[in-house]
Amino acid sequence: MSYPSIFKVETLANNKKRLDKLTTKSKPLWGRMNAAQMLAHLNLTYDTSRGKVRIELQPFMHFFVKTFLKRTIVGDKPYPKNAKTAAYYEVVDDKNFEEEKSNLLQNMQWAFEKGEHYFEGRLTGSFGRLTAKEWSNLFQKHLDHHFQQFGL
């Protein structure tokens, strides 16, 4: 499966339309997170890529993630339902739905506005340097997975 580029206006518009369908009453088709927690979880991906949140991996774990998980995370194959989430991305506390939704809209807009040139070859803390396509997959694949989780 090929994911649409987050750098295209139609992808951003489609993601916003899907997000608009999410409410505090939306129930997951799988998993344990409620809608607000899912939004906070998605925001963590952006926050780590923006340097707002730093995740420190031990050298062995960094090697393992970069060597064995990178293709699974940024490749074209969808995530399986109920895939295990790294502990530092788990959200278990209560979150404010409207605040998290607003943050996600801002984060999607930020990535779109930064564009392919900004992301091409940009360094990650977990995977090393990624191409703009891999960055796009990282964000879009994750959004799509959780939007599907909530039937969006």
The pLDDT score that the predictor gives to residue 16 is 98
pTM: 0.90
> Count of CB atoms within 10 A of residue 32's CB?
12
What are the start-end ranges of the H helices in 1-152? 9-20, 35-49, 59-64, 70-74, 97-119, 132-149
In tens, the pLDDT along 20-30 reads 999 999 999 99
Spell out the domain ranges in the chain: 9-149
The pLDDT score that the predictor gives to residue 122 is 94
The pLDDT score that the predictor gives to residue 51 is 79
User: Residues 114-141: what's their mean pLDDT?
Assistant: 93
The pLDDT score that the predictor gives to residue 49 is 86
User: Residues 59-85: what's their mean pLDDT?
Assistant: 75
Token look-up 């039937």 returns 151
